[in-house]
């Protein structure tokens, strides 16, 4: 079967990204554009359109309007996902040899940039739930303990990254965290890939968005948490801690010379659609419906995990002795396609289409799953093996470029990794280049791989010492 034939395959229900749910919730104007003869709209960077870095043209005009609306200094559309814009933001924040502080649940795009640019990550651990295997949101007390452990002068720490909300939708209160970082003179990049829509719904009792919480740089994945096409994203910047010239140069460094006009139009339309009163009211209705869907599922005794994002349905399958991968397999075979299987949980993304039929459909399949599945031995995630504050044993850029040898992971105990180990989704590295695979890390990665077929019998590049 070709890719193109697969793309029209029907599923009973698609509860994965992109959040426009297979076109159902695409902005009307984009739908109209796509109804033109195929490819008609695929234009190059004509002067009337410009590019995200042009001063003139339609893109520049929209970017200016949007940043004025949200009191940002500026914003840039991106066509290489939130990943591409996060990478530019990281490069704008730190020079080679400098250090960025980041949580253990940072996205892999950050790690790749650190390796590429010789930027040194210092990781801080996060509180962790044994019930779900998920990291909990960061609190100011926790961050205070992290700061106490650090020597800011010695380490040339030039910025901090926060991830909020997480893939599952956990989010804390960003404003006090950002204020605290600013007291330390640290610019803050918030990876809000999963929370773009918070910006338009300050009336719905959702987490306060990063931009209104005074973050210096914010990256949104428009296909994950708004109704953009896959790969669409936007980066916002604010305040005086980030050098504007550096930011523009960093975007220029990584941006394609031929950005897709369709994707750029999708960036624009997805944001415009949420600024339009009529369509906004429909999306806000969807969010309220999502809250109701959560309530209904709880009433039906489905073991849901509470997060701050109503659009994420996180089911704690381990509560009924079934791991998330087995459950995912079952739902997939029955046409209900989820987003993120993990050992203890399975996460579905409602997106912005009408999903009112989901609770009944889910209940039926859930009961079938309970009847048909062999319950596992007691599922247990190991406590994460990280110190509160920890840097790789060898600088990440050096480790990445070192001579390595590929060996089975089972033989890697006490070796230094030259590799990134990172299951996707969720794209959170378990090990980065330069880190030692000590006994705790070795056991923890083995535990993580118990149900995850991607992590079984894999090879790893280790550094020749
Ligand atoms: C927290 C987080 N940040 C950034 C990204 C990258 O987003 P994109 O797929 O738009 O490049 C992801 C993707 O999974 C993510 O989960």
Tens of pLDDT, residues 37-82: 999 999 999 999 999 999 999 999 999 999 999 999 999 999 999 9
363-380 pLDDT tens trace? 999 999 999 887 766 789
Query: Is residue 230 in contact with ligand 1, taking CB distance under 6 Å?
Result: no
Is residue 452 within 8 Å of residue 325, measured between CB atoms?
yes
Ligand 1 within 6 A of CB of 191: yes
What CATH number does the domain containing 98 carry? 3.40.640.10
Mutate to test the pocket of ligand 1, among 224, 227, 347 (most ligand atoms within 8 A of CB): 224
Residue 229 Cβ inside 6 Å of ligand 1? The answer reads no
320-325 average pLDDT score: 95
Q: Are the C-beta atoms of 93 and 100 separated by less than 8 Å?
A: yes
CATH code of the domain covering residue 350? 3.90.1150.150
161 phi/psi in degrees, rounded to 5: -115, 135
Q: How far apart are CA 302 and CA 370, in angstroms?
A: 11
Residue 21 counted as domain residue: no
CB atoms inside a 10 Å sphere around CB 326? 19
Beta strands in 282-377 (DSSP E): 304-305, 312-315, 336-337, 340-341, 346-349
Q: Nearest 5°: CA angle at 184, between 182 and 190?
A: 45
Please give the pLDDT value at position 155.
86
329 is in which domain, residue-wise? 286-372
As a whole number, mean pLDDT of residues 393-407 equals: 97
Rounded average pLDDT over 213-228: 98
Chosen domain end from 231, 250, 275: 275
Q: What value does the mean pLDDT take over residues 207-217?
A: 98
- Work out the average pLDDT over 392-402: 98
**Cβ neighbours of residue 404 closer than 8 Å, sequence gap 6 or more:** 418, 419, 461, 462, 463, 464
Q: Is 300 exposed, middle or buried (0-12, 13-18, 19+ CB in 10 A)?
A: middle
Residue 246 lies in a domain: yes
Residues 146 and 266 in one domain: yes
Domain end, chosen from 241, 275, 309, is at 275
pLDDT at 458 over 70: yes
The tokens describing 374, both together, are: 């062999």
74 and 106 both lie in a single domain: yes
Confidence at residue 293, expressed as pLDDT on a 0 to 100 scale: 98
Q: Is the peptide bond before 31 cis (omega within 30 degrees of 0)?
A: no
Q: Is the CB–ligand 1 distance for residue 83 below 6 Å? A: yes
The DSSP 8-state label assigned to residue 327 in this structure reads H
> Does the beta carbon of 385 lie inside 6 Å of ligand 1?
no
Map residue 152 onto helix, strand or coil.
Answer: helix
Q: How far is the CA of 82 from the centre of ligand 1 (A)?
A: 6
E strand residue ranges, 198-326: 217-221, 233-237, 304-305, 312-315
Contacts of 427 (CB under 8 A, 6+ apart): 107, 108, 109, 167
Among residues of the chain, what percentage have pLDDT more than 90?
Answer: 94
**E runs forming strands in 174-310:** 188-191, 217-221, 233-237, 304-305
- The answer, yes or no, to whether residue 315 has pLDDT greater than 80, is yes
- Flag whether 336 is in a domain: yes
Sign (positive or negative) of CA dihedral 215, 221, 224, 226 = positive
444 is a domain residue: yes
Rounded to the nearest integer, the mean pLDDT of the chain is: 96
Pair 296, 245 in one domain? no
Q: Is residue 302 part of a domain?
A: yes
Q: What is the pLDDT of residue 376?
A: 67
Q: Which mutation among 77, 79, 82 tests ligand 1's pocket best, with the greatest number of atoms within 8 A of CB? A: 82
For residues 421-440, give the mean pLDDT.
96
Of 104, 217, 423, 427, best ligand 1 pocket probe by most atoms within 8 Å of the beta carbon: 427
Number of domains composing the chain: 3
Above pLDDT 70, what percent of the chain? 100
463 lines ligand 1 (CB under 6 A): no
Give the separation between CA 399 and CA 197, rounded to whole angstroms: 38
Residue 258 confidence (pLDDT): 96
For residue 207, pLDDT beyond 90: yes
The contacts of residue 196 (CB under 8 Å, 6+ apart) are 220, 221, 222, 224, 225, 226, 234
Residue-level pLDDT at 457? 77
| 432 pLDDT above the threshold of 70 | yes
Q: Are residues 143 and 257 in the same domain?
A: yes
Region 262-271: mean pLDDT is 98
What would the mean pLDDT of 229-237 be, rounded to a whole number?
Answer: 98
Taking 80 as the threshold, does the pLDDT of residue 174 lie above it?
A: yes
**340 CA distance to ligand 1 centroid (A)?**
13
Ligand 1 proximity of 78 Cβ (cutoff 6 Å): no
User: Ligand 1 pocket, 195 CB below 6 A?
Assistant: no
CA distance 261 to 41: 7
Atom 9 of ligand 1 has which residue's CA nearest to it? 81
Pair (431, 361) in one structural domain: no
Domain boundary among 246, 275, 304: 275
451: confidence class by pLDDT, cuts 50, 70, 90: confident
What is the average per-residue pLDDT within 338-366?
97
Region 300-310: mean pLDDT is 98
């Amino acid at each position: 079967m070709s890719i193109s034939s697969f793309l029209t395959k029907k599923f009973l229900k698609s509860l994965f990204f992109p959040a426009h749910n297979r076109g159902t919730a695409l902005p009307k104007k984009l739908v109209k554009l796509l109804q033109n003869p195929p490819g008609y709209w695929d234009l190059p960077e004509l002067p009337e359109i410009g590019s995200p870095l042009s001063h003139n043209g339609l893109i520049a005009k929209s970017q200016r309007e949007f940043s004025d609306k949200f009191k940002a200094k500026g914003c840039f559309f991106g066509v290489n996902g939130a990943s591409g814009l996060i990478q530019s933001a990281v490069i704008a924040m730190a020079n080679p040899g400098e250090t960025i502080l980041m949580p253990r649940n940072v996205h892999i795009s950050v790690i790749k940039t650190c390796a590429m640019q010789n930027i040194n990550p210092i990781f801080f651990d996060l509180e962790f739930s044994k019930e779900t295997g998920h990291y909990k949101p960061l609190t100011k007390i926790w961050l205070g303990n992290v700061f106490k452990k650090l020597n800011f002068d010695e380490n040339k720490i030039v910025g901090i990254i926060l991830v909020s909300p997480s893939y599952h939708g956990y989010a804390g209160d960003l404003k006090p965290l950002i204020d605290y970082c600013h007291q330390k003179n640290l610019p803050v990049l918030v990876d809000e890939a999963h929370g773009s829509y918070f910006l338009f719904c300050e009336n719905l009792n959702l987490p306060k968005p990063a931009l209104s919480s005074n973050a210096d740089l914010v990256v949104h994945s428009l296909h994950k948490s708004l109704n953009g096409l896959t790969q669409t994203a936007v980066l916002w910047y604010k305040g005086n801690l980030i050098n504007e010239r550096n930011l523009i140069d960093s975007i220029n460094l990584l941006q394609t010379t031929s950005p897709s006009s369709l994707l750029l139009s999708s960036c624009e339309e997805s944001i415009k659609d949420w600024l339009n009163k009529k369509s906004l009211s429909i999306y806000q209705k969807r969010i309220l419906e999502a809250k109701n869907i959560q309530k209904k599922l709880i009433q039906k005794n489905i073991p849901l995990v509470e997060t701050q994002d109503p659009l994420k349905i996180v089911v704690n399958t381990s509560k009924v002795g079934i791991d998330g991968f087995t459950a995912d397999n079952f739902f997939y075979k029955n046409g209900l396609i989820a987003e993120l299987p993990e050992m203890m949980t399975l996460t579905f993304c409602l997106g912005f289409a009408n999903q009112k039929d989901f609770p009944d459909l889910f209940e039926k399949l859930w009961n079938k799953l309970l009847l048909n599945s062999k319950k596992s031995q007691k599922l247990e995630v190991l406590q994460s093996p990280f110190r509160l504050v920890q840097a790789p044993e060898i600088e990440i850029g050096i480790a990445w470029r070192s001579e390595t040898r590929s060996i089975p992971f089972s033989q890697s105990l006490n070796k230094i990794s030259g590799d990134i180990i990172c299951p996707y989704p969720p794209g959170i590295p378990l090990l980065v280049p330069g880190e030692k695979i000590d006994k705790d890390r070795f056991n923890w990665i083995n535990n993580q791989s118990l149900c995850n077929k991607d992590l079984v019998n894999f090879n790893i590049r280790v550094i020749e010492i």
